[in-house]
Each structure stands twice: as structure tokens, then as C-alpha cells.
Amino acid sequence: MSSPISATSIVGARPNFVKVAPVARALAASGSFAHAIVHTGQHYEADMSERFFADLEIPPPDVHLGVGSGSHGEQTARMLAGVEGVLLARRPDVVLVYGDVNSTLAGALAAAKLGIPVCHVEAGLRSRDRTMPEELNRILVDQLSEILFTQSREAEANLAAEGIPRERIRFVGNVMIDSLARCRDRAEAMAAWKGNGLARDNYGLVTLHRPSNVDDPDRLASVMRALGKVARRIPLVYPVHPRTRNRLEAAGLTGANGRLALVPPAGYVEFVSLLCGARFALTDSGGVQEETTWLGVPCLTLRTTTERPVTTREGTNRLVDLAGIVPGVEEVLAAPARRVSPPELWDGRAAERIARILAERLRP
């Protein structure tokens, strides 16, 4: 029997954990891989990290770099040096990176410089807004990658337009949806809305953490005022990301009320549960735009662009500006809850395809 293909995944932030979970499971199930997980430590609080490993049944990280927070350059540099050390010691056959966070860029750059093939899961997304740190990470990581797995046809087209050779690109579907599909029954059974004193289909779920919405105190105050207005119409539950928590505290804006519940970040199952019971979501998250489309939950995205246009074209997502929040919610409440068919290949089996393709490509 041939020796297993050694694969190392580099992860570090909450969305990475949701994406690596099904891939780790599929690599293990295929029997062709020895898979290691390196955690950079970009997210480190228990409810941003450990709880995801538990909820998503991800094997514990083989290496934890403990890099923590910092400016972009500082944080990425520490991760780059840490990942390089690990890769030099382990010399894997392939490095897998996920999404568009700083851990993704550090992992891809460290591997590519060492001549280790990089495989990017969730390649080809483009917002065309280079003020987003994620957009820079996406463009750079895709340029560094040998194997690019996409979640939509439009992502494939974006890569081809940037001159990435077609044979490197494989449309496999969406690993976020693999995690969501696997968790949905558990999440429904949890009925997390009850624990928050809410009734199913009678509350909105809020997640806002993008620098463009939360870093400027005036903008953040305006966002909170809009949420206050919405909460007079329908209760809101808002699991607050640590970046936002810190900004709210600094701006003295933590005054929630019964109908706008600011709660700690939710674990994955709890979050999916809250999403399943919500009348709508109001978000600036990437993942939540996809999850709401798959679940058929109306989604208002407080951004000027999306790198996931399939969710606005085929799904339940709609971009709004600050002034559009209150009327957007009114429209959602007036319309019947919309159910849609999921986008192509968002079928819960993306990671299986990834494992199969990697085994074909890399088996000696």
C-alpha cells in the first residue's frame, strides 16, 4: 500500500473552523491522507475558537502558534514566521488554506515560498473593493495557489479572468454548506431562540463586525440607532464579535434593552439554531450571506458590495445601506418568508469532492 499523502491545513479564525471541519472529515474518510491542523491563534477566546472545534467535531490542532491579535502587518508577519517553521519541520505534500482571513494569506505565502503546493478552498470570490483586507488576501492567495476550489460558477469566471490557468480551478460547491447541512437537525433541536426569550419566526438575528461598520465611532453609533429603531418593531438578538464589543465599549454604546439583546459570540450550533428560527438576518458577514440563502431566511447585508453575488441573484440576500435598514426590515416583514432552491452544488458534499480531487492529483 502506498504511503498516505501528507496534508496540512492552516486555520486561525472563526470562519476557517467552519470550513476546515468537513474537509478534515472527508480527508480522514478517504483513507488516502495524513492530515494535520495548524491553528495560528488569530482567534483565541474560547467562544471564538475552542467552542468551534467542539461543536464542529474538528480534531484538536496538531500545532498551535498562539499568535493572537495585532495590526495586519504585525499579525500576518508573526503567522508567516510561525507557519514557515512548522512547514520546514513537517514538509507536507500539500497545504490547504480556507477563505480570506490573515491566517489564509500567511499560510499560503509560507507554503508557496517553500515550494509546497497550496490548495485554496473558497477561491475566486471578489468584492472588487480593495479597501477590504479580505479582498487583498483573496487576490494574493489565489495567485499563490496551485489548486483552487470554488463555491460558484462566478468564482471560477473571476479566476479565469485574472489569468489563472483553467486546469488549476475546480468547482466543487460550498464547504460552509457542508457544515450547515450536517448541523441543521441538531440546531433545530436546540431551539436556541427559547433560551433568549424569543419566539420562532418573530425576531431578527444580527451579526456586524466589519471594520467599515464598527471601527468608526460615528458610524457605529448610527448603526446602533438603526438597530434600536428596528427593535421597536421586532426583537433582535445580536451575538457580538470581540472587535465590535471592544468598539462598543470604547464608544460607550453598550446600552442594550430587552428588545435588542447584545449577547456574547454564539457557538456554531447555537448560531445555526438562532438562524433557523429567525424571521431575518441583518449582517455584514460573508458566511451568513450564504447560510441564509441555503436556509431560505431573508438576509439584509449592510455593505456596498458582496463577493458572493450568487446569494443576491439566486438567494435571499439583499445589500442595504444605513438608511435602507428600517425600510428593508419592513419589506421583509410584509413579504411571506421566502424559500429558495440552493445554488448549484451547495449540497453538503463539497468536501468529499475536494478529498477525491486531491487524492487523484497528489497520489504518487
Catalog residues that contact ligand UDP under the rule CB under 6 A: 14-15, 18, 207, 239, 265-266, 268, 271, 285-288, 291
Amino acid at 121: V
Cα–Cα dist 172/151, whole Å: 6
Q: What is the CA radius of gyration of the chain?
A: 20
Which of 35, 39, 209, 241 is labelled catalytic? Answer: 209
Interface residue list for ligand UD1 (CB under 6 A): 13-15, 42-45, 48, 69, 100-102, 133-134, 209, 241-243, 246
From the CB of 359, what's the least distance to ligand UD1, in Å?
30
Nearer to ligand UD1 by Cβ, of 35 and 247: the residue is 247
**Which residue type sits at 339?**
R
d(CA 15, CA 22): 13
Comparing CB distances to ligand UDP, the nearer of 32 and 285 is: 285
Indicate which of ligand UD1, ligand UDP, none lies near residue 69 (CB less than 5 to 8 Å, by partner kind). Answer: ligand UD1
Nearer to ligand UD1, 8 or 40 (CB): 40
Question: Shortest distance, CB of residue 137 to ligand UDP, whole angstroms?
Answer: 11
Minimum distance from residue 30 beta carbon to ligand UDP (Å) = 25
Identify what 265 binds: ligand UD1, ligand UDP, none; CB under 5 to 8 Å per kind.
Answer: ligand UDP
Which among ligand UDP, ligand UD1, none contacts residue 174 (Cβ within 5 to 8 A by kind)? none
Look up 64 and say whether it is catalytic. no
Helix (H), strand (E), coil (C) string for 290-317: HHHHHHCCCEEEECCCCCCCHHHHCCCE
Cα separation, 214 vs 119, in Å, equals 32
Cβ-based nearer residue to ligand UDP, 124 or 287:
287
**Shortest CB 224 distance to ligand UD1, Å:** 18
One-letter amino acid identity for 145? S
Collect contacts of 238-241 with beta carbons under 8 A, ≥24 apart.
238/205, 238/206, 238/207, 238/208, 238/262, 238/263, 239/207, 239/263, 239/264, 239/265, 239/266, 239/271, 239/274, 240/264, 240/265, 241/207, 241/208, 241/209, 241/265
Q: Among all chains, which residue has been given the C-alpha cell 491553528?
A: 39
Q: Which one of ligand UDP, ligand UD1, none is in contact with 354 (Cβ closer than 5 to 8 A by kind)? A: none
What is the nearest approach in angstroms of ligand UD1 to the Cβ of residue 221?
19
Burial class (CB in 10 A: 0-12, 13-18, 19+), 331: middle
Residue (133 or 228) nearer to ligand UD1, CB: 133
Residue 192 or 358: which CB sits closer to ligand UDP?
192
45 binds, among ligand UD1, ligand UDP, none (CB under 5 to 8 A by kind): ligand UD1
With CB under 5 to 8 Å by kind, the binding choice for 266 among ligand UD1, ligand UDP, none is ligand UDP
94-98 vs 118-121, strand pairing mode: parallel
Q: Which three cell numbers stand for residue 150?
A: 470554488
What region, left, alpha or beta, does residue 194 occupy, with left being phi > 0 and alpha being psi -120 to 50 degrees? alpha
Active site residues: 209
